[in-house]
Each structure stands twice: as structure tokens, then as C-alpha cells.
Amino acid sequence: MAEQTTTYPKTPANTVNRYKHQATYDAERIHTIINTTPVLHVSFIPDPSDPMPTILPMIGQMGLYPGDSSTGDSAQKCYLHGYVSSRLMNLAYTPTGLALCIAATKVDGFVLSLTPNTHNYNYRSAVLQGHASIVDDDAEKLWAMELITNAVVPGRYAHTRVPPDGAEMQSTRILKMRISSASGKVREGCPEDERKDLKRENVLDSVWTGVVPVYERLGEPVAGPYNRVPGVPAHVSEFVSGENEKRERYASDAARKAAPLKRPKKNED
Amino acid sequence: MAEQTTTYPKTPANTVNRYKHQATYDAERIHTIINTTPVLHVSFIPDPSDPMPTILPMIGQMGLYPGDSSTGDSAQKCYLHGYVSSRLMNLAYTPTGLALCIAATKVDGFVLSLTPNTHNYNYRSAVLQGHASIVDDDAEKLWAMELITNAVVPGRYAHTRVPPDGAEMQSTRILKMRISSASGKVREGCPEDERKDLKRENVLDSVWTGVVPVYERLGEPVAGPYNRVPGVPAHVSEFVSGENEKRERYASDAARKAAPLKRPKKNED
């Protein structure tokens, strides 16, 4: 029986060794990074005799299927949708499942400081490791399809032609990963330079330092050639305007915060 | 002696089996996707006895070092900068180098169609495989540091306190990957649905179909607390305005194109 902890355990596999103060093991924070990143990068080893990994871009969401929680399993899983090749299928059908690593990274700003070495990004990243299997149960598959569709645009599933028919159910493959290890890393704040450069008047007088905020922006929706619905429905237009406001504010706020190393340290080991 | 081909060879490792018409093996196109993606996802296997890959977010650029080209090697390599742990260092110091997979994905739009199954993204993605080693030569390392700094903001390197001093050279690790396999995939265009749904009047009358363009936007630069340079220098402000115009136009144009399956097929096998 797997229990959802509020923090993931620190193990040799996930412990962040550099800039520890930027690391997080908080489950909610890690899940939010995964859930708000439109493309997850999913790595696995196609051929166990060849130590060369591959990466597939996939769409994914954290979720707890009611059928799992009813058995007392309260651990959120990562559900993935994308092209599942027959090779990947066969690998995922082994008893232990397929070993996967999933990464999500959001760039929030370019941090331009006095020297190339102190340049940085404001960003949020999360890495999960675990084992994945194909979802066979139709009820769970339908639940995951709705979860993943609504992750792209909230409420979208109910505004489409559903339920999927037999052929669509057949052709859709959902991977479900049980998480064995997870960590996140967040950098926000203004530039920070070393004391040796902060004492150089000529450097301070000539190098502009600051942050260029970066965020994913959603443009004006463009109706397709066979669209017959007039205007843009509220579930799309409200999502676009709400997200744009939220994302711009996050990046802009992150650019204005104090530098991470100068903040009071909490929970640092 | 490695020669840069204009297209990467198709091998079992990189051949795109699904939606072949969206695949590309064109070197310039693949390199551009890598070069314009602010974070690359880099996968490797930390422990050869455990088939679990890990992923690090890193900054990278394609480049051909003059010292390589002078020996007749015309193949572009992928130079990576990021935190190189001592574990990663040791792995990269083996004679063959470290087996890496690098992926870059740009989301250009959410494609909202009639059914959840036909929903899609407009996107550009590239995947490289190869072996990487640590750059030991100081001249090549400096060259790569300039390449990577200027990839974030063009011309930035010359506008900072350079050259890096001895301690900075020492602490900076650059990985250089020789590419053995590469492929890309691009989806652009309006939604496309199946004939069965395009014949359903009630579905066409009720489901909005179209594309929400998505692009990375650069916000107004925010000066840092110890900045003394008045205004925003041209190398930053012109980059911000130029990129914003270019990125918005790409996503908006991609949303308006014909659906990929309906376009005349070229080079399809």
C-alpha cells in the first residue's frame, strides 16, 4: 500500500548536491511543476544491452485514480500520453514495468550578471524516477484521458465529442508511472555576483545586470477551417486570459526577488 | 574524420515510425531546434548496473570549434553547460565518453479538435544521441563559454567582465557531444479530424475547433539591485523586441497553416 507523503524521501538517486538551498522535495510543489509543463521529457533505455537512453516528449499529469485510492493507495502516479511504440509497449509489459525518468523544466527568466560564470536562469524543474506500465483497465484509461485532455485546457474534455469509441480506446495508450524518487529545483531572484566583481568600479559602471523575465504566452485563439461555433467559447478564452496574467506575473515577480544566496536560509542541511 | 552531412542518416535508433511526414533528418533544421531551445534535457545512465536513466536540464548549443575544423572535422558537436557532478565527470572520462541523449522541444500551439483523441500540439522537437567528453583544452573551453553565453542573449559575452579568471576556468565544466544519431519532428497547422466526426452535424455545431498559439515571451527587462548602467543596453532591448516579434509570428503562422495530413506529401516513404 503506497502512501502519499507530503515530501519525497532524499536518497542518493535524487539528492540535489549543488545549490541545495534551491532544492525541493515537497510533493505538492514537484507535482505542480509537472502538471503545469506542457511537455514532459521521458527517458528510458530501449535496449538493455546498450547503455544509450532515448527521450520522448510526452504529455503528462499527476493523478490519483479513485480505483487506487479505494484500495488505500494514496500515492499520486504520473499518467503519460503520447506515441507508445510497439517497442516501448513490450518493455512496459514486463512484470516490474519500464524504468522511466521524467523531467519538466520551466524557464522563468534570463539572469544577466557581471560575468559569464554568474549568468543563470530563473527556472523551476522537477525530475521523477519510477516504473511505468500500460493502463489496461478501460475505466482507468478513460479517467486518464479526461485528466490529460483537461490539463491542456481545463474543462476541454466535456466540450468535445465524447466518449471515445471502441477504435479510439484501442488506439490510445496511457502509461502510468509509480514514483520511486522525486526532486525539484527552483531558482528565482535578481542576479548575484561575487564580491571580487562587486568591488570593481569599472565593471559595475559598464555591465548592465538584471533579469529578462521569460514566460509561455498563449496567443489569440485561431478558429480552424471547419469550425462552425461563433466566437471563442469561455472555457478557451478565460483560460487564455487567466493563464497569461498568471504566467507574466510569476516571471516578473521572480525577476524582482532577492538573490537566492542572500535570503534567510530555511531547512538547509 | 567526421564530415557534416546536410541530413543525418536514418537508422533504427532515430527513425520516426509514427507520423513520418512530420519527421525531419535535416541537420540545419535539427540544429536550429537545439539552438533556439533555452533548456535541453540531457539523459544518461548514472549506474551501468541499474537500467534507470536520469535527466539533467542543461544549456547547450551546436558548434564547430575552429580547432576541429582545421583538422578536417566538419561535424558540428553539441556543447553543454550545466552542473557536472563528480559522478558525471567520472563517467565522461572513460575512453569512449558518456552515452547521452539530448532532447529539445518547443510548443507552438494547442490544437483543439473535435475529439480528445485528435487533440494535438503544434511543436518542434529534436533528439540527439552520441557520446560526450569533458572539454579539457582551455582555448576550446573559452570558445564554448562564449558560444553558450551568446546563445542566451546574442553578444552578451563581450558585454560582461571577461575573460574568466583561473578559478572560473577551473570551476566551469563543458561537455562536448559527438552526434551519432539525430532526428527531428515538426507539427504545424490547424486541427484535423476524422471523416466520421466531420459528418456529424451536431458535433460540428457544438465543438469549437482551432489553435491556441503558444510561444515563449520575453518580458520587460528588470534591472538588478547593484546595476549602475542607465536604461537597458541595445544588445538586450533589441534582442527582446526582435525575439518577441519573431516568436509570436511563428506560432501564429503555424496555427493558420493547412493540417499536415492534408498537405501535398513530399519525401514520404
What residues of A are in contact with residue B115 (Cβ under 8 Å)?
Answer: 160-162, 164, 168
* pLDDT reported for residue B76: 96
pLDDT of A12: 73
* Residue of chain B nearest A167, judged by CA positions: B117
Residue among B51, B100, B105 minimizing CB distance to A99:
B51
Would you list the domain boundaries of chain A? 20-260
CB-based contact, A166 to chain B, within 8 Å: no
User: Which of B46, B161, B209 lies nearest to residue A227, judging by beta carbons?
Assistant: B209
Averaged pLDDT, B167-185: 94
CA distance B251 to chain A (A): 8
CB nearest B164 (choices: A48, A107, A117): A117
d(CA A130, nearest CA chain B) in Å: 8
Residue B269: pLDDT band (50, 70, 90) is very low
How large is the C-alpha radius of gyration of chain B?
Answer: 22
What is the per-residue pLDDT across B115-142, written as a single tens digit (0 to 9) for each?
999 999 999 999 999 999 999 999 999 9
A39–chain B Cβ distance below 8 A for any pair: yes
Of B48, B107, B115, which is closest to A161 when you measure between CB atoms? B115
Q: Which residues of A touch B255 (CB under 8 A)?
A: 219, 222
Quick one: pLDDT at residue A269? Answer: 35
- B202 falls in which pLDDT band (50, 70, 90)? very high
Show Cβ contacts of residue B235 under 8 Å, excluding neighbours closer than 6 positions: B153, B154, B155, B156, B159
**C-alpha separations of B48 from A56, A62, B52, B132, B228 in Å:** 21, 29, 9, 16, 50
Contacts of A171 in chain B (CB under 8 A): 117
* Domain B20-262 homologous superfamily, CATH: Electron Transport, Fmn-binding Protein; Chain A (2.30.110.10)
Which chain A residues are closer than 8 Å to B216 by Cβ?
107, 214-217
Residue A63: per-residue pLDDT:
97
Q: What is the mean pLDDT of residues B16-41?
A: 90
Which chain A positions have a beta carbon within 8 Å of B214's beta carbon?
38, 216-219
Pairwise CA distance, residues A183 & A9, whole Å: 9
B152 pLDDT more than 70: yes
Hey, is the C-beta of A87 within 8 angstroms of any chain B C-beta? no
Average pLDDT of chain B, as a whole number: 92
- Using CA atoms, how far residue B129 sits from A32, A128, B147, B182, B184, in Å, is 30, 21, 21, 6, 12
Please check whether residue A169 touches B, CB under 8 A. no
Nearest CA in chain A to B258: A225
What confidence score (pLDDT) does residue A50 get?
A: 87
CATH architecture type of domain A20-260: Roll (2.30)
Does ipTM surpass 0.90 in this model? yes
Higher pLDDT: B36 or B5? It is B36
> What pLDDT does residue A2 have?
60
User: A3 in contact with B at a CB cutoff of 8 Å?
Assistant: no
Q: Is B73 left (phi over 0), alpha (psi -120 to 50) or beta?
A: beta
- Which residue carries 560582461 as its cell? B160
| HEC sequence for chain B | CCCCCCECCCCCCCCCCCCHHHEECEHHHHHHHHHCCCCEEEEECCCCCCCCCEEEEEEEEEECCHHHHCCCCCCCEEEEECCCCHHHHHHHCCCCCEEEEEEEEEEEEEEECCCHHHCEEEEEEEEEEEEEEECCCHHHHHHHHHHHHHHHCCCCHHHCCCCCCHHHHHHCCEEEEEEEEEEEEEECCCCCCCHHHHCCHHHHHHCCCEEEEEEEEECCCEECCCCCCCCCCHHHHHHHHHHHHHHHHHHHHHHHCCCHHHCCCCCCC
Q: Given CB atoms, is B243 within the 8 Å cutoff of chain A?
A: no
Name the stretches of chain A with pLDDT < 50.
1, 266-269
Q: Is the pLDDT of residue B58 over 50?
A: yes
Q: Any chain B CB within 8 A of the CB of A85?
A: yes
Please indicate if any CB of chain B lies within 8 Å of the CB of A119.
yes
> What is the DSSP secondary structure assignment for residue A29, as one 8-state letter?
H
For B84-98, give one letter per residue: b (16+ CB within 10 A) or e: beeebeebbeeeebb
CB pair distance less than 8 Å for B216 and A217: yes
Considering just the CA atoms, what is the radius of gyration of chain A in Å?
22
Chain A, nearest residue to B41 by Cα: A41
What distances in angstroms separate CA A200 from CA A29, A197, B134, B203, one per listed residue? 39, 5, 32, 67
Q: What residues form DSSP beta bridges with A216?
A: B216
How many residues belong to chain B?
269
Question: How does residue B29 score in pLDDT terms, banded at 50, 70 and 90?
Answer: very high
Using a CB-CB distance cutoff of 8 angstroms, which residues of chain B are in contact with residue A251? Answer: 219
Triad B172, A42, A23: Cα angle to 5°? 50
Residues 6+ apart with CB under 8 A from B160: A113, A114, A115, A116, A119, A207, B149
Query: Which of the four pLDDT bands, split at 50, 70 and 90, describes residue B264?
Result: low
By Cβ distance, the residue of A45, A112, A152 closest to B119 is: A152
3-state secondary structure of A134: strand
Q: With cut-offs at 50, 70 and 90, classify the pLDDT of residue B2.
A: low
CA B193 remoteness from chain centre: 29
Please give the pLDDT value at position A22: 82
Please count the CA atoms within 13 angstroms of the CA of B223 that sit on its side-chain side. 12
Q: What's the pLDDT at A43?
A: 96
Mutation to test the B interface, candidates A15, A47, A160, most B Cβ within 10 Å: A160
d(CA B104, CA A84): 19
Can you give the pLDDT at residue A257? 97
Report residue B69: phi and psi, to 5°.
Answer: -65, -30
Residue range B59-64: mean pLDDT, rounded: 97
Rounded to whole angstroms, how far apart are CA atoms A102 and B63?
28
CB contact under 8 A, B161 and A207: yes
- Please indicate if any CB of chain B lies within 8 Å of the CB of A190: yes
Spell out a b/e string for B167-180, using b for 16 or more CB atoms within 10 Å of the CB, else e.
ebeeebbbbbbbbb
Question: End-to-end alpha-carbon separation of chain B, Å?
Answer: 31
Residue B87 has pLDDT above 80, yes or no: no
Element housing A209 (H / E): none
Distances (CA, A) of B245 to A107, B31, B233: 19, 21, 19
Vertex A53, ends A51 and A56: CA angle to 5°? Answer: 165
Whether the predicted pLDDT of B4 surpasses 70: no
DSSP element (H, E) containing A99: strand A98-112
C-alpha cell at A214: 521569460
C-alpha closest to that of B198 among A166, A224, A226, A168: A226
pLDDT of residue B155: 97
User: Other C-beta atoms within 10 Å of B269: how many?
Assistant: 6
**Nearest-by-CA chain B residue for A147:** B116
Q: Which of B203, B105, B118, B107 is nearest to A145 (CA)?
A: B118
pLDDT at B82: 80
Span B228-250, pLDDT tens digits: 999 999 999 999 999 999 999 99
Contacts of B154 (CB under 8 A, 6+ apart): B235, B239
Q: Does A113 touch chain B (CB under 8 A)?
A: yes
**Angle (nearest 5°) at CA B92 between B174 and B166:** 35
DSSP letter assigned to residue A183:
E
Q: Write down the pLDDT at residue A263.
A: 63
